[in-house]
Chain A
Amino acid sequence: QQPVQSPQAVILREGEDAVINCSSSKALYSVHWYRQKHGEAPVFLMILLKGGEQKGHDKISASFNEKKQQSSLYLTASQLSYSGTYFCGTEVNTDKLIFGTGTRLQVFP
């Protein structure tokens, strides 16, 4: 039931782009995205509900394809502050948010 994230790790230079994928074997009601820096709590980035919408703020956006049970997080022109571990959370049954194992992103100057 745990969603699968890929890749497990990404190394970037500042200004480069990255895509993180999240897929589930079950039908999804919503997908959440969070970023966690080392030793800190996860921080909410965005949520996507059924409807195949795309959202974004600043240079981080996400899409949700409910037919394929997949979501992707797009980070463009990455900054040093983007470093951290990204988690997707999927909701397949009312009120249970199940997280993937995370994608570690490192951005270097």
Chain B
Amino acid sequence: NAGVTQTPKFQVLKTGQSMTLQCAQDMNHEYMSWYRQDPGMGLRLIHYSVGAGITDQGEVPNGYNVSRSTTEDFPLRLLSAAPSQTSVYFCASSPAGAVTNYGYTFGSGTRLTVV
């Protein structure tokens, strides 16, 4: 049972490039979300999904796109990378949303540097 798998673990991009961060879970969780973590800022919610075909914006959605075509996968796309998007990105999943008795399972993270 792999849990939540994020790829790649590290990535360096040039300003203006686009890329997709991958997130996959094998626990049949309905709820998935993306956070970014910057020093002193904690974890900030980018986008989330309550099930296949349903996505919504979090606190800091600008510059990012998501889609959820299957229960297992929730990729995060950076449209045109900017240095301000340098961060550690975490994907998380849960059997249901936040107002339940279930905690979130986090992936190991992707460390992204935009130069």
Contacts and interface: CB of A to CB of B under 8 A. Distances in A.
Contact of A95 (B50, B90, B101): B50
A101 B98 contact: no
Nearest to A88: B42
B7 to A, nearest CB: 14
Given A41-B107, A44-B103, A87 B90 contact: no
Contacts, number: 71
Given A2-B42, A96-B48, A102-B42, A32 B103 contact: yes
Interface residues of B, number: 28
Contact of A96 (B41, B45, B90, B105): B45
Given A41-B90, A42-B90, A95 B48 contact: yes
A34 B50 CA distance: 21
Q: How large is the interface on A (under 10, 10 to 19, 20 to 34, 35 or more residues)?
A: 20 to 34
B104 A95 contact: no
Nearest to B44: A99
Contacts of A32: 98, 103-104
A2 B45 CA distance: 11
B75 interface: no
B103 A47 contact: yes
Contacts of A66: none
Given A29-B98, A30-B98, A101-B40, A44 B105 contact: yes
